[in-house]
Amino acid sequence: MTKYMVANWKMNGSLETAHDFCQTFTRLFHAHQTDNTIVIFPPHPYLSFTNGALSGTDISLGAQDCSGASEGAFTGETSATMLADVGCSYVIIGHSERRQQHQESNTFLSDKIKCALEANLRPIFCIGESEQDFETGKTQEVLKTQLQVLNDFKGNDKLILAYEPVWAIGTGKVARLDDIENTCAFLKKELFDVYQLSSPILYGGSVKADNAKDILSLQSIGGVLVGGASLKPDEFWKISTAIVIPKKPQTSSFSPKL
Ligand code: PEP
């Protein structure tokens, strides 16, 4: 099964760095290929440019957020339909930085997922516990509350979940492999039992070229969401190919005459 390799550039870079990244990354892609699903999430102003620069590859485009409204008097917002219009197939919803900086509530996030799905975008819904919650053993309780947003989307196979412990994002502190696996196995069961979902579960939090293989080899992990290390094309390529998905055997139409 394909693994998702998600590059979240956050609010970093320029048109020039987007150009340089795509030039190097597409060269690596054409030279080596991979069956993993790679999605790049540039800042909104560089979406169209990046879409053009990735053309001719299987690399997909995503946006870092969308509005919870479909259109109208929402100055500064971008609708999911607009994102689809400029080539996006995915959108990140509920990233912890947005939850913290914009006080995004469960109701608000549910509206965003609804808009994304209506625009035919695949939402990558992010959840994760704070350091204090982790240290006081409240991880599962907190994640269960965050998952309640999915009550409105039971059985929707477009959804992707990203588990990102807040204390591991941008800090260089990676969660222990056994903690990642235990939490993601818990999430997998919860998704299936409560929400009738078999969504891929991505891990995010200080993923780098040197720890990607171990994380991607965990049984419950369907991919990685990468922030800082995704700004460097060589490093993100190493992450994207840290685990090799065997190519599907080619089916031949040749049938020998007997
Ligand atoms: C993120 O952007 O969600 C993230 C996990 O960032 P980093 O890889 O830098 O920790």
How does pLDDT run across 5-26, given as a tens digit for each residue? 999 999 999 999 999 999 999 9
- Which residues lie with the beta carbon below 6 Å from any ligand 1 atom? 8, 10, 95, 164, 169-170, 204-207, 225-229
* Substitution candidate for ligand 1 out of 206, 230, 236 with most atoms within 8 A of CB: 206
**Could you give the C-alpha distances from 220 to 3, 92, 170, 235, in angstroms and in order?**
11, 20, 23, 24
* Substitution candidate for ligand 1 out of 92, 208, 226, 231 with most atoms within 8 A of CB: 226
Q: Which atom of ligand 1 is nearest to the CA of 168?
A: 10
Would you kindly state where each structural domain of the chain is located, as residue ranges?
Answer: 4-240
Tokens of 97: 């930085």
Band (pLDDT 50/70/90 cuts) for residue 255 is: very low
- Average pLDDT in the 171-183 region? 95
- Average pLDDT in the 136-149 region? 97
Closest-CA residue, ligand 1 atom 2, reads 227
Which range, 33-37, 191-195, 241-245, has the best average confidence (pLDDT)?
191-195
What's the whole-model pTM score? 0.93
Is 164 catalytic? The answer is yes
pLDDT at residue 32, as a whole number:
87
Band (pLDDT 50/70/90 cuts) for residue 253 is: very low
Band (pLDDT 50/70/90 cuts) for residue 254 is: very low
Is 95 catalytic? The answer is yes
> How far apart are the CA of 215 and the centre of ligand 1, in A?
14
pLDDT at residue 163, as a whole number:
98
Band (pLDDT 50/70/90 cuts) for residue 249 is: low
Band (pLDDT 50/70/90 cuts) for residue 244 is: confident
Q: At what angle do helices 233-240 and 15-32 cross, to 10 degrees?
A: 40
CATH 3.20.20.70 given to domain 4-240 = yes
pLDDT above 90 (res 33): no
Residue 239, C-beta contacts closer than 8 angstroms, at least 6 positions apart:
5, 207, 208, 209, 212, 224, 226, 229, 230
Q: Average pLDDT over the chain, rounded to whole?
A: 94
Q: Which atom of ligand 1 is nearest to the CA of 8?
A: 2
Residue with tokens 């995704």: 230
Phi, psi at 217, each rounded to 5°: -85, -10
> How far apart are the CA of 229 and the centre of ligand 1, in A?
8
